[in-house]
Amino acid sequence: MRTALRSFFVSPAVLAVKYTACRMTVSVALLCDALESIINVASALAVIVSVKIVSHPPGDYHPSGHNKGEYRSAVLVDALIVTAALAIIHDA
């Protein structure tokens, strides 16, 4: 959890540097790096939320627990990767 929190707070700074460099150089490669940084921020947030959800004990509504939160966060990250790939293909 601590690693995800650190990543969540450091990734926006890295994103800002990469995006600024991309705007200055008009480089598609730096745009790809900036998109990857967006995915890093979103995936760190997804991990944080997923860990919070999964840590809840089983209850009446979810008798087997909240383990599907992990799968949902993985699907979200996968969708972001596909979206970034499509954006890169569009700009290339």
Each residue's pLDDT expressed in tens, for the chain with a length of 92 residues: 777 778 778 888 888 898 899 889 988 888 888 888 888 888 888 888 888 887 777 777 766 666 777 788 888 888 988 988 888 788 77
Distance separating alpha carbons of residues 84 and 82, to the nearest angstrom: 5
Say what the pTM is: 0.69
Contacts of residue 55, defined as CB under 8 A and 6 or more positions apart, other chains included, come to 66
